[in-house]
């Protein structure tokens, strides 16, 4: 619980502005950079923001320059009273990477407008120079060599990237871009608050960062929709969302590009960021998505829907570029539903001769008598990713034929590996360039382009198939071997 008067009983030094209770305020970047007595405590990690981070921040500013407000997130400050000095320092507990980067951007902006005064309105030149002069009086010490090196590098990056800013963009950066600053008077509570801001001390999942990003990307007029999608998102289990992104969507998108897709990390979230459809500058490639986005909204908001009670879902495709904001949350719900539906549709837990062909394949994937092993779980995940990608593109057209091909492509691996790790799965996908099913689905226009794939290059030889189709083998469920044998899926 936050104490309200941590400075109670301490005599307030003359001329020192002590906040005697915890508080929060929303302030502009210009106001934030002018906060006096700011410090980055020694316990903070070095400055590590990369060129990519800086360019992303600058690009966000540029993209959102026309918004009435754009928020950069929260800053947690510990108001640290040093009695010996009779001074209160504002120690940054959370947000020092952004704080440093914003200072870098200001200094780069000052150099830019000073050297190119004729390109900017005089008032903005004076405003930037005046702010920089004030910030010069707030000395921040960076003693770590890596921090100093990274700051110097990012200053050059910022200077180059800011060349596209005009007077109004700079004005938007200084006045419309904001941060939420939490002033907390007790250090322990400041750390506790920092932990609570970061999932109660647990490391954030990548999908948590995506949620925060796409909430910021909502249009100003979508407040009610924002509340609705947030409530739906919060209704999902966090681990369930982690599986959707890490085990399925991330791997499908990576493997379809023939990239290694072993573990979904925070650095990979860029693949789930895309375009802001409300941006006034629309490139030609964005027009089809803009048309679809507008058509779906217009259809669903039409008065006729009050009569026929119909609705139209946005036509998501895994290969398409992400539309930021509301569509991301709809996208998540859409693929979560696909994942759940095909499992329910084909789930069988007991083997029987009267099962359909598709049910038999799903049984052998999910309930074969070696399904307790780690390797079988990896094969199941690979198979599921293929099924999701195929359904996403072709629905259930020619589905039985596809399942047969997919099953053979996936379980051929088991004939070669007694112990099967995920590294082997990942390597198998990206190294078999001619038969990478994900890449082939991506390029395919019709299902038969997938169904006619020549699998001879990955098939086990006949001796292996026969040796593992017997009931006494310890490699796999003999019914998998029998399937390969009866269908003659072996190399000549």
Q: What are the pLDDT digits (tens) for 228-287?
A: 877 788 788 888 899 999 999 999 999 999 999 999 988 899 999 999 887 767 789 999
Sequence-ordered list of residues with C-beta below 8 angstroms from that of 262, at least 6 positions apart, any chain: 422, 423, 426
- pLDDT at position 181: 87
User: Rounded to 5, what percent of the chain is helix, strand, coil?
Assistant: 55, 10, 35
**Sheet of strand 87-94: strand arrangement:** 23-28, 177-184, 70-82, 87-94, 38-39
Contact 212, 73 (CB under 8 A): yes
User: How crowded is residue 366: how many other Cβ atoms within 10 Å of its Cβ?
Assistant: 17
- pLDDT at position 208: 81
What is the spatial distance between Cα 122 and Cα 114, in angstroms, rounded to a whole number?
Answer: 10
Could you tell me which of 386, 380, 374, 337 has the C-alpha nearest to residue 362?
380
Sequence-ordered list of residues with C-beta below 8 angstroms from that of 312, at least 6 positions apart, any chain: 296, 299, 300
User: How crowded is residue 400: how many other Cβ atoms within 10 Å of its Cβ?
Assistant: 11
- pLDDT at position 204: 67
Q: Which residue has the tokens 């410090």?
A: 39
What is the spatial distance between Cα 321 and Cα 209, in angstroms, rounded to a whole number?
Answer: 18
3-state DSSP call for residue 73? strand
3-state DSSP call for residue 114? helix
> Which residues on adjacent β-strands are paired with residue 180?
26, 74
* pTM check: above 0.75: no
Burial of 212 (0-12, 13-18, 19+ CB in 10 A): exposed
Instruction: Tell me the pLDDT tens digit for each residue of 173-217.
Output: 999 999 888 888 776 555 555 545 554 434 568 888 888 788 778
Instruction: Tell me the pLDDT tens digit for each residue of 315-334.
Output: 999 999 999 989 999 999 99
Contact 149, 41 (CB under 8 A): no
Max intra-chain CA distance, the chain = 92
- pLDDT at position 12: 39
Helices and strands, number each (H, E), in the chain: 22, 5
Contact 192, 22 (CB under 8 A): no
- pLDDT at position 194: 56
What is the spatial distance between Cα 23 and Cα 366, in angstroms, rounded to a whole number?
Answer: 54
492 residues of the chain, pLDDT tens digit each: 333 333 333 333 333 355 556 777 889 999 999 999 898 877 677 888 889 889 989 998 988 888 888 888 788 888 888 888 888 888 888 888 899 999 999 999 999 999 999 999 999 999 999 999 999 998 888 878 888 999 999 999 999 999 999 999 999 999 999 988 888 877 655 555 554 555 443 456 888 888 878 877 887 677 677 778 777 887 888 888 999 999 999 999 999 999 999 999 888 999 999 998 877 677 899 999 999 999 999 999 998 988 999 999 999 999 999 999 899 999 999 999 999 988 888 877 888 888 888 889 999 999 998 889 999 999 999 999 999 999 999 999 999 999 999 999 999 999 998 889 999 999 999 998 888 999 999 999 999 999 998 898 899 999 999 989 888 888 889 999 999 999 999 987
- Phi, psi (degrees; rounded to nearest 5) at 64: -100, 20
- pLDDT at position 15: 35
């Amino acid at each position: 619980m936050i104490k309200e008067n941590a400075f109670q009983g301490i005599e307030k030094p003359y001329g020192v502005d002590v906040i005697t209770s915890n508080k929060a305020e929303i302030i502009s970047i210009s106001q934030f950079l002018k906060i006096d007595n700011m410090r980055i405590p020694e316990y903070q990690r070095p400055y590590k923001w990369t060129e990519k981070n800086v360019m992303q921040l600058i690009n966000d500013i540029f993209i959102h320059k026309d918004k009435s407000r754009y928020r950069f997130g929260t800053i947690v400050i510990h108001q640290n009273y040093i009695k010996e000095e009779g001074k209160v320092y504002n120690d940054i507990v959370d947000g020092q990477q952004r704080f440093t980067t914003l200072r870098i951007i200001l200094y780069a902006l000052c150099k830019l407008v000073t050297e190119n005064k004729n390109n900017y309105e005089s008032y903005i030149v004076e405003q930037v120079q005046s702010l920089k002069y004030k910030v010069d009086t707030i000395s921040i010490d960076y003693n770590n060599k890596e921090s100093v090196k990274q700051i110097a590098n990012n200053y050059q990056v910022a200077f180059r990237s800011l060349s596209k800013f005009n007077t109004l963009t700079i004005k938007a950066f200084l006045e419309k871009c904001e941060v939420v600053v939490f002033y907390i008077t007790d250090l322990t509570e400041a750390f506790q608050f920092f932990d609570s801001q970061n999932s109660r001390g647990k490391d954030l999942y990548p999908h948590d960062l995506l949620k925060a990003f796409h909430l910021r990307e909502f249009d100003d007029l979508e407040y009610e929709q924002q509340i609705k999608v947030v409530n739906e998102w919060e209704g999902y289990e966090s681990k369930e969302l982690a599986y959707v992104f890490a085990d399925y969507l991330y791997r499908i998108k990576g493997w379809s590009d023939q990239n290694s897709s072993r573990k979904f990390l925070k650095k990979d979230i860029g693949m789930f960021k895309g375009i802001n459809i409300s941006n006034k500058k629309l490139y030609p490639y964005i027009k089809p998505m803009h048309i679809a986005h507008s058509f779906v909204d217009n259809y669903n908001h039409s008065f006729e829907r009050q009569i026929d009670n119909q609705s139209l879902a946005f036509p998501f495709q895994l290969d398409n570029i992400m539309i930021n904001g509301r569509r991301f949350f709809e996208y998540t719900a859409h693929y979560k539903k696909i994942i759940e539906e095909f499992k329910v549709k084909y789930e069988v837990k007991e083997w029987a001769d009267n099962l359909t062909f598709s049910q038999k394949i799903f049984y052998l994937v999910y309930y074969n008598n070696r399904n307790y092993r780690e390797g079988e779980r990896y094969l199941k995940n690979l198979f599921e990713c293929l099924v999701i990608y195929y359904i996403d593109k072709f629905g259930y057209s020619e589905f039985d034929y596809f399942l047969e091909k997919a099953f053979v492509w996936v379980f051929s691996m088991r004939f070669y590996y007694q112990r099967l790790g995920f590294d082997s799965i990942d390597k198998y996908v990206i190294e078999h360039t001619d038969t990478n099913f994900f890449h082939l689905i991506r390029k395919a226009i019709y299902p038969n382009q997938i169904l006619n794939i020549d699998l001879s290059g990955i098939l086990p030889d006949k001796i292996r198939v026969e040796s593992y189709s017997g009931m006494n083998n310890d490699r796999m469920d003999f019914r998998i071997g029998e399937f390969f044998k009866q269908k003659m899926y072996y190399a000549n």
